[in-house]
Amino acid sequence: MNGTPRVLNRILAGIFGLLLLAVGLLLVLLAAVPAVAAWWQGWSSGAWANIRTLSESTRIPGQSESWLWIVMVLLLMAVIVAMVAWLAQQGKGRSNILVAEDDAGEVPGYVRIGGGVAEQALRAALAGRPDLAGATVATYDFRGRPGLRIRVQPRQGVAPHLLAAEVSALVEALDAVIGRRTPVLIHIGSGARSRFGRAERVR
């Protein structure tokens, strides 16, 4: 429901994981296979010689440094900018306003209802229930319209469809209070907290 680029995150995580796997496999082979260690020594020596030759051939006139260092600094700065932009996309879409409308009644004005009102009301309604291990409520912008995302963790033995119906009833009551229907995403999940909670099983 939020603007987090999940596909891009998975692709980057997969690439990073493959790189770590390749490095780990190379280290294991270097330590366990003498032939691979001998190949690495020969290859690294040749690569280092090529790097030194390239550095000497790309020196700045009148200087002892290579202009390749400038290129590397620029590339690192581009990577840093890309990482900052990527981090800025994480969790994007959160909203602080649930309702923002013009009131054309007897006294004209502008009506604003903060998302915290709905979040606190729903959290209070869900808190203390023996059939839930946890519940979170957040407000997000969904296609230019504010909506709610409700995540609940039922304990073992709880019927998901009954829980979804009860949460939907709470949302309908909230809609009646604020005077408008709000888009809602209800996420029913499970985890270690749900499986190993000490509360009694709901029948």
| pLDDT in 10s for each residue of the chain, 203 residues | 555 667 777 888 899 999 999 999 999 998 898 898 888 888 888 888 888 888 888 888 877 788 888 899 999 999 999 888 877 766 666 677 777 766 655 656 677 777 788 888 888 888 878 888 888 888 887 777 788 888 888 888 888 888 888 888 888 888 888 877 888 888 887 655 445 444 433 33
Q: What is the pTM of this model?
A: 0.50
Place of tokens 């981090």: 87
Measured CA to CA, the distance from residue 86 to residue 78 in angstroms comes to: 12
Q: Are strands 109-114 and 97-103 parallel, antiparallel or unpaired?
A: antiparallel
Domain architecture of the chain: domains with CATH: 6-88 (no CATH), 97-195 (3.30.300.30)
Q: What's the pLDDT score for residue 18?
A: 95
Token readout for 95 is 């909203």
Strands 145-154, 97-103: pairing kind: unpaired
